[in-house]
């Protein structure tokens, strides 16, 4: 199937009994999750020469028996190590002729069968000691045709199991240009300690708005940059678990959407083989929305009152009938009082007494029968 102008692969169209699959130098646009589904017996996969093919992270999930993977000349600028998570017995990885500047070598910690790696013809300038220390079991690594900067970080070439060929040349510094890496005396492999300088030790941004924090990093080799959040989460160039954050090749931190947990003291760390340098930066997040806490109504009670248990409490009803009785009693009482006052006034007036006896009160003689 190589050199066949194939542009796509229909899911389920490939025999599940395949051992070797060669789709090299075609025009395949994408290898999706289901493209290679079911090829559990596949041992060799060659996708080299498919320029610009998009590799989904789950593209190789069914290839648990794969031992050789060829991804050369595909114009790859990055290789996400998660592509290799389901290839436990992979032995050969060919990445030559791409546009890779760096690689997350931590994948070799789990791929312990890895023996052959080809990164020739890329844009690498350096490989740190810490990166290569993860490759103790590598038998062969191809480094030709990269712009190697010959510093003390390349001293690891002397400890590899497989000797580096003399054809691997230094590109810089000028004093070592075109000299074979393996022939450079250790005394000439110099390094400059890592440094970090920030124009400001504080940065402010609005809630849910993006924020870039830039510092100047120095050192030779260029340092590994680690940003640490207030909660201790570390963020690096290879960042797989925190998609809201991005650290560029030059160390610039981008927070895509500021959140509450971004508010506080951050640290930025620059490390290389010579030195570790740390700077603290205070990040302030403004316009954080506040949550209003509902106020529970309370009843003011006298000291002698007690609150009954909830299950015994009943809702009081208006005392309409009792109010009517009280009103009638008050009115009747007032009427009786007014009537008594009127009787007293009329009975004590002399003129009125002579003309009109107060019939309400009979004479004493009448009361005693005289």
Say how far apart CA 370 and CA 158 lie, in whole Å.
Answer: 155
In a domain, 124, yes or no: no
Q: How many domains does the chain have?
A: 2
Residue 132 vs residue 122, higher pLDDT: 122
pLDDT class of 317 with cuts at 50, 70, 90: very low
Asked if pLDDT for residue 315 goes beyond 50, the answer is no
Give me the phi and psi of 123, to 5 degrees please: -115, 25
In-domain check, residue 100? no
Evaluate whether residue 228 is within a structural domain: yes
Under 8 Å CB-to-CB from 14, ≥6 apart: which residues?
21, 36, 38, 39
Domain boundary among 249, 270, 286: 286
**Among the ranges given (199-208, 267-276, 326-335), the one the predictor scored with the smallest mean pLDDT:** 326-335
Distances 219 to 7, 251, 274 between C-alpha atoms, Å: 45, 13, 9
Cis, peptide link before residue 221, omega less than 30° from 0: yes
DSSP-derived secondary structure letter, 215: -
Spatial separation of the C-alpha atoms in residues 241 and 228, rounded to whole Å: 14
Task: Based on the fold, state whether residues 273 and 207 are members of the same structural domain.
Answer: yes
pLDDT band, residue 307 (cuts 50/70/90): very low
Burial (Cβ within 10 Å: 0-12, 13-18, ≥19) of residue 59: buried
Task: Mark whether 209 and 281 lie in a shared domain.
Answer: yes
Last residue of a domain, one of 253, 286, 319: 286
Q: Judge whether 282 lies within some domain.
A: yes
- List pLDDT tens digits, range 181-207: 888 888 898 999 999 999 999 999 999
Stronger pLDDT, 310 or 362, i.e. the higher one? 362
Which residues, listed in sequence order, are joined to residue 169 by a DSSP beta bridge? 180
- Please report, in angstroms and rounded to a whole number, the separation of the first and last CA atoms in the chain: 152
**Cα distance between residue 89 and residue 135, in whole Å:** 15
Residue 365 lies in domain: 338-370
Q: How far apart are CA 363 and CA 370, in angstroms?
A: 10
**pLDDT confidence tier of residue 134, bands split at 50, 70 and 90:** low
In a domain? residue 225: yes
How many helical (H) and strand (E) elements, i.e. helices and strands, does the chain have?
4, 20
| Average pLDDT over all residues of the chain | 84
pLDDT digits (tens, 9 = 90+) for 140-186: 889 999 999 998 888 777 666 667 788 899 999 999 999 998 888 88
- How much is the pLDDT for 318? 45
Q: Which residue has the higher pLDDT, 364 or 15?
A: 15
Please report whether residue 303 resides in a domain: no
Within this chain, do residues 344 and 273 fall inside the same structural domain, yes or no?
Answer: no
Q: Are 169 and 148 in contact (CB under 8 A)?
A: yes
Residues in Cβ contact with 362 at an 8 Å cutoff, skipping those fewer than 6 apart: none
Lowest mean pLDDT among 11-20, 139-148, 338-347: 338-347
Res 305 pLDDT > 80: no
- Assess whether 280 and 342 both reside in one domain: no
Is the pLDDT higher at 159 or at 119? Answer: 119
Predicted pLDDT of residue 126:
86
CATH of the domain at 211: 2.60.40.10
- Last residue of some domain: 261, 286, 311? 286
CA-based nearest residue to 57, from 73, 40, 79: 79
- The pTM score is 0.72
Question: What is the tens place of the pLDDT at every residue in 58-103?
Answer: 999 999 999 999 999 999 999 999 999 999 999 999 999 999 999 9
Looking at the fold, whether 342 and 282 belong to one and the same domain comes out as no
Whether residue 250 lies inside any domain: the answer is yes
Has residue 309 got a pLDDT over 60?
no
Question: Is 248 domain-assigned?
Answer: yes
- Which of the 8 DSSP states describes residue 352? H
Q: What's the token pair of residue 152?
A: 């003390």
156: which DSSP letter? G
């Amino acid at each position: 199937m190589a050199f066949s102008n194939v542009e796509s692969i229909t899911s389920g169209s490939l025999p599940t009994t395949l051992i070797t699959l060669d789709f090299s130098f075609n025009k395949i646009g994408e290898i999706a999750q289901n493209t290679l589904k079911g090829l559990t017996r596949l041992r060799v996969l060659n996708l080299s020469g498919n320029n610009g093919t998009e590799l989904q992270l789950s593209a190789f999930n069914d290839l648990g028996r794969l031992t050789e993977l060829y991804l050369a000349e595909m114009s790859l600028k990055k290789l996400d190590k998660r592509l290799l998570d389901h290839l436990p017995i992979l032995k050969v990885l060919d990445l030559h002729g791409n546009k890779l500047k760096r690689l997350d070598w931590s994948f070799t910690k789990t791929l312990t069968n890895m023996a052959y790696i080809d990164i020739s013809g890329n844009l690498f300038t350096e490989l740190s000691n810490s990166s290569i220390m993860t490759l103790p079991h590598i038998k062969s690594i191809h480094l030709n045709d990269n712009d190697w900067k010959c510093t003390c970080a390349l001293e690891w070439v002397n400890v590899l199991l497989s000797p580096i060929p003399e054809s691997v040349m230094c590109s810089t510094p000028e004093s070592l240009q075109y000299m074979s890496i393996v022939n450079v005396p250790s005394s000439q492999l110099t390094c400059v300690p890592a440094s970090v300088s920030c124009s400001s030790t504080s940065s402010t941004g609005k809630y849910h708005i993006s924020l870039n924090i830039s510092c100047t990093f120095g050192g030779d080799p260029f340092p590994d940059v680690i940003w640490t959040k207030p909660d201790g989460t570390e963020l690096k160039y290879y960042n797989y678990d925190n998609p809201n954050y991005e650290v560029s090749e030059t160390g610039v931190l981008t927070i895509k959407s500021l959140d509450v947990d971004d508010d506080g003291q951050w640290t930025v760390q620059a490390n290389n083989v010579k030195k570790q340098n740390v700077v603290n930066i205070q990040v302030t997040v403004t316009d954080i929305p506040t949550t209003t806490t509902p106020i529970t109504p309370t009843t003011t009670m006298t000291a002698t009152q007690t609150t009954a248990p909830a299950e015994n409490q009943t809702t009081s009803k208006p005392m309409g009938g009792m109010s009517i009785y009280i009103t009638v009693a008050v009115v009747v009482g007032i009427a009786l009082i007014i009537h008594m006052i009127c009787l007293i006034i009329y009975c004590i007036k002399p003129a009125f007494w002579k003309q009109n006896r107060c019939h309400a009160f009979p004479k004493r003689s009448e009361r005693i029968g005289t």
